Amino acid sequence: MKNWAGNHEYRARRLHEPRSLEEAQETIRGAARIRVLGSRHSFNDLADTSGALITLAGLPRFLNIDPETSSVTVDGAIRYGELCPALHEAGFALHAMASLPHISIAGACATASHGSGDRSSVLSAAVSAMEVVRADGEVVELSREGDRDTFEGAVVGLGALGVVTRLTLDVEPTFNVRQDVYERLPGAAFASHFDEITASAESVSFFTTWRDRAFDQVWLKRRVARSGGATTVPPELYGAPLATR
């Protein structure tokens, strides 16, 4: 079995697929060494082990939106592509999302996956509470309010604290996003105007083929105002023209 990129082959001797929380607890308690297999999007061996792997995909699914607290609680296996349509239908959204829909939310938060812009905090910043099964099989509940000094470290735990079986995430009213693509940003402009460019949108991505001293594309994602208007888009971005579509 390989990861998403195909550059790593897992060496674990066994893959456990529990069908209930109790079965997962028993499996974790009885394992000498165990790691969680999420959506396999990692490009390295972080989620691998010489022991056993466990997947939460077979556990009962859970998705509960609470409008009063502007939060959603989900199971540990849910992916962004599964959660976001339900949130949008209810009139809510996450502050930022992973770039691909198949990425598991628990995995993205545990590894501090980013939001790609000065205005967007990392994906794990949305987590306000979590349920973790420790190595001894016991279930522990942690929260931003109750565990202020240690909570952020627990959220970005890299799987070291246990198996995350539930997460509660902050949500906000749904919003629209527009993306503008600029082409051929000179390398010198990238270096001298980096702070201005990354601050110009909620999400900023640079793409290069490393063949010359220019970035082939710059993607700027901006929120669209509720009135229907959009932020002003400059025809050029420090020497990079706006791509025509």
Task: List, as one string, the DSSP characters of 62-108.
Answer: -EEEETTTTEEEEETT-BHHHHHHHHHHTTEE-S---SSTTSBHHHH
Residue ranges of the chain whose pLDDT lies below 70: 226-231, 245
Contact between 100 and 40 (Cβ < 8 Å): no
Contact between 104 and 78 (Cβ < 8 Å): yes
pLDDT of residue 227: 59
CA 165 from centroid of its chain's CA atoms: 16
Closest CA to 187 of 157, 158, 208, 203: 208
pLDDT of residue 39: 86
Contact between 166 and 62 (Cβ < 8 Å): yes
pLDDT of residue 245: 57
pLDDT of residue 230: 57
pLDDT of residue 228: 56
pLDDT of residue 195: 95
pLDDT of residue 141: 97
pLDDT of residue 43: 78
Retrieve residue 110's tokens: 């545990």
pLDDT of residue 99: 83
Contact between 78 and 56 (Cβ < 8 Å): no
pTM attached to this predicted model: 0.90
